[in-house]
């Protein structure tokens, strides 16, 4: 087998706001593995400023993988333990290489186009008017689960946006999730959670910054609404450490981004540990191109999920690749009669 990689920059259609700043571009890398007349492709979705593998020697590690591609898969994954996005790219590329259709990694009723995956509609941070407009668009598009990023504008203005939705729709009609991306100071977090709970939210993601296990544990114990850990999972690779973190914090949910937690293998490990503790989960993409999103979606469907997942980021970029994936009426579909146009030029 031979392997190469290529860097690619995704351009946002419009600047997208998070608590970490404004995103205009998203860097990603594609891993290609060839064996005789077959080729597989996987996306190494590095997320600058968030990924644990956002390090200066990232491309050196990618080149190391290309140079050592004929080693056993397990040995490679162990060697890449500190580079979860490269682990994920390798898993995708190997599955792609060995499939009849290199983009069909987990053949299912989803890839046949018979069943869709329910997803949440994502509301990006920005001005109150901008967020208000997004909410209207998502509701008009048929979403019944809305996820709103909070923590960037005035908290009262964010509450007003939630109030706007609840005036029109009950919690049975529209499910509301919020994602604080660690924006709350731990001493004020519980009071903010109480105010948010007035709007019958499904959950809040990462209310305080990761790494504050005892403070997060107290929040999860006293919270009036379910808490989902997201960034908290990043950078924890040891099984014992994963168990220790979940046993300490006891969250209501965990959220898995395969590019950030070590791909299919890392996600499966988290899911197995969490299930033992009756902690539920859902899967979210991390601004990958349609190549990575496709892999995550097919994997997600294989888990027999029922609650809405976070897989609606494919339409954010001007230079994404045409694919069979389509978001319609609050769900992700795979139209297998549509062709891929995967061209890096």
Known active-site residue 102: no
Sequence-separated (6 or more) residues with CB below 8 Å from residue 248: 213, 214, 217
| Residues in the chain, pLDDT under 50 | none
Q: How many residues does the chain have?
A: 345
Please report the pLDDT score of residue 19 as a whole number.
Answer: 58
Categorise residue 28: left if φ over 0, alpha if ψ from -120 to 50, beta otherwise: beta
* DSSP symbol at 108: S
Contact status, residue 168 vs residue 35, Cβ threshold 8 Å = no
CA distances from 294 to 99, 115, 239, 250, 326 (A): 14, 15, 27, 31, 11
Give the pairing type, strands 325-328 and 280-283: unpaired
| Of 102, 138, 149, 242, catalytic | 149
20-29 long-range CB contacts below 8 Å, 24 or more apart?
20/49, 20/50, 20/181, 21/49, 23/287, 26/287, 26/317, 28/288, 28/289, 28/292, 29/5, 29/59, 29/62, 29/89
CB atoms within 10 A of CB 93: 29
| Six-digit token string for 306 | 């029922």
Please report the pLDDT score of residue 186 as a whole number.
Answer: 92
Please report the pLDDT score of residue 22 as a whole number.
Answer: 79
Please report the pLDDT score of residue 312 as a whole number.
Answer: 83
Output the pTM of the full model. 0.95
CA distances from 47 to 23, 83, 96, 114, 195 (A): 11, 11, 23, 32, 32
Sequence-separated (6 or more) residues with CB below 8 Å from residue 136: none
Contact status, residue 18 vs residue 332, Cβ threshold 8 Å = no
Please report the pLDDT score of residue 279 as a whole number.
Answer: 98
- Beta bridge partner(s), residue 231: none
Q: Which of 287, 275, 268 is nearest to 87 (CA)?
A: 268
Please report the pLDDT score of residue 17 as a whole number.
Answer: 66
CB burial readout 278-294, b (16+ within 10 A) else e: ebebbbbbbbbbbbbbb
Q: What is the pLDDT of residues 197-221, one digit of tens each?
A: 999 999 999 999 999 999 999 999 9
Known active-site residue 257: yes
| Of 102, 192, 242, 257, catalytic | 257
Domains of the chain, each with CATH number or no CATH: 2-97 (3.30.390.10), 117-334 (3.20.20.120)
| CA gap 251, 146 in Å, rounded | 21
Q: Please report where in the chains the tokens 């924890």 appear, as a residue.
A: 236
């Amino acid at each position: 087998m031979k392997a190469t990689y290529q860097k690619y920059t995704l351009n946002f259609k419009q600047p997208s706001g998070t608590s970490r700043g404004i995103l205009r571009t998203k860097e990603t890398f594609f891993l290609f593995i060839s064996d005789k007349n077959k080729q597989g492709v996987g996306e190494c979705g590095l997320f600058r400023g968030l990924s644990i593998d956002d390090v200066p020697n990232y491309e050196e590690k990618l080149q190391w993988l290309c140079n050592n591609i004929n080693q056993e898969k397990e040995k490679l994954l162990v060697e890449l333990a500190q580079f979860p996005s490269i682990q994920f790219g390798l898993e995708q590329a190997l599955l792609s290489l060995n499939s009849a259709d290199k983009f069909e990694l987990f053949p299912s009723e989803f890839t046949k186009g018979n069943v869709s995956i329910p997803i949440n509609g994502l509301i990006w941070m920005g001005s109150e008017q901008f967020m208000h407009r997004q909410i209207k668009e998502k509701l008009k598009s048929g979403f019944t689960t809305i996820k709103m990023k909070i923590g960037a504008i005035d908290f009262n203005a964010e509450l007003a946006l939630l109030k706007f939705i609840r005036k029109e729709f009950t919690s049975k009609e529209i499910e509301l999730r919020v994602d604080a991306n660690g924006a709350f100071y731990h001493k004020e977090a519980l009071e903010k959670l109480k105010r948010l709970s007035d709007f019958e939210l499904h959950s809040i993601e990462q209310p305080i910054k990761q790494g504050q296990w005892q403070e997060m544990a107290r929040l999860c114990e006293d919270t009036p609404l379910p808490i989902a850990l997201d960034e908290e999972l990043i950078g924890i690779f040891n099984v014992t450490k994963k168990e220790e973190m979940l046993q300490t914090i006891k969250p209501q949910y965990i959220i898995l981004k395969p590019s950030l937690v070590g791909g299919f293998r890392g996600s499966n490990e988290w899911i197995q540990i969490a299930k033992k503790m009756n902690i539920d989960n859902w899967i979210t993409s991390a601004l990958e191109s349609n190549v990575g999103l496709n892999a995550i979606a097919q994997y997600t469907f294989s888990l027999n999920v029922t609650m809405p997942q976070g897989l609606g980021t494919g339409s954010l970029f001007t230079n994404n690749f045409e694919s069979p994936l389509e978001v319609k009426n609050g769900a992700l579909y795979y139209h297998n009669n549509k062709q891929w146009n995967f061209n890096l030029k």
